[in-house]
Chain A
Amino acid sequence: MIGVISYLVFFATVASILSIAVLGLNLQWGNTGLFNGGVVAFFGAGAYGTLILGGTPQAGQLGGFGLPYLLALLGGMVCAGIVAWIVGLLTIRLRHDYLAIATFGVAVAFETVMRNTDALGGAQGIRGFERPLRETLGNGFTYNLAFFAFVLILLIATYLFLERLIQSPFGRLLRAIREDETAAQSLGKSPSRVRLTSFVAGSVIMGLAGGLYATFYAFISPQDVLPILTFQIWAMLIVGGAGNNKGAVMGTFLIWAAWTASGWALSRFAPLEVQLYTGSIQFVLIGFVIVGMLLWRPQGLFPEKLVVSQSAKNK
């Protein structure tokens, strides 16, 4: 029984971390209409930033500054923000699919740079990070439980922050730009500045998720920032419902559960001769879920609630 609880805590931790990243994407895509195809770059910047700032020194590698954990995590978010700001400035004129292609390229470039720069860990990745409070909490279940609580608090904080943000006038402005940029401009708003703000804010949130992810594994390597992660995070948002924060979180838990449970179920119930092919079967199953979702409920499980204005809603 303790095993089941221990696994559920572990699962919920990973799902919560991914939820934070999906919330970040929801701000960009769901609320502002920015097609970010390079989620892993910002996720990765947060992860690498956190480990480099908070890790112990390793021969031939940058970093090992051993900063206090919260400072390192914050530093990781700043890294993600800086990357997003530079990418945002460069791509500010790009819309829709052009932005998607450009950001996808950034993500691939990020992975390639990490893989080839020995000072940043190279293909072997960065290790030597001490998980915070490990001395006090030990290494086992207690630690995972405490870390889960920490992640959950951050998830709730992010959720509340974004809910507040999209209900504010700024949130309305984001949606206005998403729906009709020219109209927003005619009202004296600066779409490019707002788009950049939204892009950087969403990326910083992804960076937070990346930092938590790297902390949880005490390790990060280029294998963690492959394009598959971008695809997974997008799938979570699409299934949950773009534009709805609750949907983003639910979608993450659902997709990640489907991803892991299908592997577990296949290993448990598939006949022995099929066992070797479970990996491929799993990909097919997940593909079916996503395609089915797009066919039958393209707006997602929790569609965006369209509100004309706050005053109209409150009447």
Chain B
Amino acid sequence: MNGLKTSALALGLAAGFASFGTDAAAQDCTTKIGAVLPTSVDWGKPIAATAQYAVDIANEAGGVAGCQIEMVLRDTQVDPKVGVDAAKALVDLDGVQLLLGAVSSGVSMPILTSVTVPAGVMQMSCCSSSTAFTRLAEEGKTNGLFYRTFATSGVQAAVGAMVAQDAGYKSVAVFYKNDDWGQDIGGLVADDLKALGIDVTASIAINDGQASFRAEVTEALKGNPEAIYMALYPKEGTQVVREWISLGGSQNMIAANALKSDEFRDNVGMQYLANFTGTDTASPRTDSASAFVDAYTAKFDGPPNGPGLANSYDATMIALMAMHAAGKDATGADIAAKVASITDPNGTPVTADAAGFTMAKEVLDGGGTVSYQGATGNVQFDKNGDVSAPAVTWTFSESGIEEQKYISLTEVNDFMASLN
């Protein structure tokens, strides 16, 4: 009996020594991070899947601060109560110091004010676009804990106006989805168009879930605009465009990135989309961006065409890198403080894949800073946790979605400055 014990001990010790210094020993621990995303709605699922994909890549690259990452995913049901409760459970019961989410600003905001800021947990949203976050940060009420990788609506609105100017449209009607994102971007694009001397004949709110948008479309037709601008999602976008064209509206169309979907193209029909131009915030012209598209395509059997996917990926990657920089058992505030060293424009450029993650870890361990070259661009946060980004214009083609023109970060910033 004694002999058995001794030999078991010896075996155990031997196994311990054998694995000493390899990754296996360092990977005994698991760090949890939280994600609150609307997985019960169709467009929310891929956003969550992309976040999980980024976590898998980080784990493949040896984890974060010596530990594997486990992402605990909770559904928000796009209901603020449910989202806040899920966030609170993640923070209190799972002890997460990093929370990814939410998508809707109306859910992210109460999470921020009643859960993450009071608990000192860092919150990184992929997709909340409301300008209210900027104002909250300016008032100093986010304690620097909030970041988002969704460029504020200002970039896309400005590029939308730029497209109208370049195409020589003299009058434009604006359709916007009647939610925080749509109201924001609809208001901004109208201001930008006016600043360029383009007539805005109408700004029309589109409430989703309506059987018909005939009344709204007729209202827009009255001004007889040369073109329309749409900040809409595919579902209501399809319906609006169908009714707009069937009532004889112009086929000159400009749209924000939410319409960047094959579903929209197929349901409207290519024959009506010849003069359609979309805008989006863009990837930088680096290998890492196309590598993301390739890797994503390989993983999910299709290109990342849904809204918010690249943003979700970058949000997760940047947050995990910052977590590594902050070290083991870091608090939310520690992690948030390290974000700047991940997105330092003067840092070592790193790609957004497993190799890039490993490289970032090496540089950060050596006390350096990195410049993360992400799927949404060379991401840089301002003091309010907002990002600006380069932009692209795109069109639909028979085979899918094609990029038309790349507008660099400098060009975007200069153009936006010229509008003010």
Contact = CB atoms under 8 A, between A and B. Distances in A.
Interface of A: 3-4, 6-7, 10-11, 14, 112, 115-116, 122-125, 127-128, 139-140, 143-144, 216-219, 221-224, 226, 228-229, 259-260, 263-264, 267-268, 275-280, 282-283
B109 A275 contact: no
A276 B39 CA distance: 6
Contacts of A229: 81
Given A116-B205, A276-B49, A124 B75 contact: no
A278 B75 contact: yes
A143 B115 CA distance: 12
A289 B390 CA distance: 50
Interface string B22-59: 00000000000000001111001100110010000000
B39 A279 contact: yes
A223 B39 contact: no
8 contacts: A3-B92, A125-B180, A224-B80, A263-B85, A275-B39, A275-B48, A280-B40, A283-B77
B316 to A, nearest CB: 15
Contacts of B82: 259-260, 263
A276 B48 contact: yes
B88 A10 contact: yes
B107 A223 contact: yes
Is chain A's binding surface mostly helix, strand, loop or mixed?
Answer: helix
Contacts of A218: 110, 113-114
B92 A263 contact: no
Interface string B199-231: 000000101000000000000000000000000
Nearest to A17: B81
A221 B109 contact: yes
The 6 closest A-B pairs by CB, nearest first: A279-B40, A223-B106, A279-B75, A7-B92, A217-B110, A139-B118
Nearest to B119: A140
B182 A219 contact: no
Interface in B57-83: 72-75, 77-82
B330 interface: no
B235 to A, nearest CB: 17
B311 interface: no
Contacts of B107: 223
B45 A7 contact: no
A229 B107 CA distance: 15
Given A14-B85, A143-B118, A278-B39, A263 B183 contact: no
Interface stretch (B129-137, B160-168, B412-420): B129-137
B393 interface: no
A283 B81 CA distance: 15
Interface in B343-370: none
A263 B110 contact: no
B93 interface: yes
Contact of B104 (A140, A223, A228, A275): A223
A289 B78 CA distance: 21
A143 B114 CA distance: 11
A216 B114 contact: yes
B277 to A, nearest CB: 26
B240 interface: no
Interface of B: 38-41, 44-45, 48-49, 52, 72-75, 77-82, 84-86, 88-89, 91-93, 95, 104-107, 109-110, 113-114, 117-119, 130-132, 136, 139, 178-180, 182-184, 205, 207
Nearest to B143: A139
Interface centre among A264, A267, A277 (most CB of B within 10 A): A267
A125 B93 contact: no
B142 to A, nearest CB: 11
Contact of A279 (B77, B104, B136, B205): B77
A223 B78 contact: yes
Contact of B40 (A216, A217, A283): A283
A181 B41 CA distance: 45
Given A127-B136, A279-B39, A219 B79 contact: no
A35 B75 CA distance: 31
Nearest to A15: B85
A122 B86 CA distance: 26
Contacts of A276: 39, 45, 48-49, 73
Nearest to B34: A267
A263 B38 CA distance: 12
B369 to A, nearest CB: 31
A123 B179 contact: yes
A78 to B, nearest CB: 24
A224 B110 CA distance: 10
Given A122-B183, A224-B80, A263-B74, A277 B39 contact: yes
A115 B72 CA distance: 32
A41 to B, nearest CB: 17
Given A217-B80, A217-B84, A224-B80, A282 B131 contact: no
Which of B77, B85, B86, B178 has the most C-beta atoms of chain A within 10 angstroms of its own C-beta? B85
Contacts of A144: 118
Given A223-B78, A267-B72, 10 more contacts: A3-B91, A4-B92, A7-B92, A10-B92, A11-B88, A14-B81, A125-B132, A219-B110, A223-B79, A263-B85
Contacts of B178: 115-116, 123
Contacts of A259: 82
A283 B40 CA distance: 9
A21 B110 CA distance: 20
Nearest to A5: B92
Contacts of A280: 40
Contacts of A140: 118-119
A131 B41 CA distance: 32
A219 B89 contact: no
B207 A123 contact: no
Contacts of B49: 276
Contact of A221 (B72, B80, B86): B80
B80 to A, nearest CB: 5
Given A224-B80, A276-B39, A282-B40, A7 B105 contact: no
Contacts of B180: 122-125, 221
Nearest to B94: A3
B216 to A, nearest CB: 13
B95 A127 contact: no
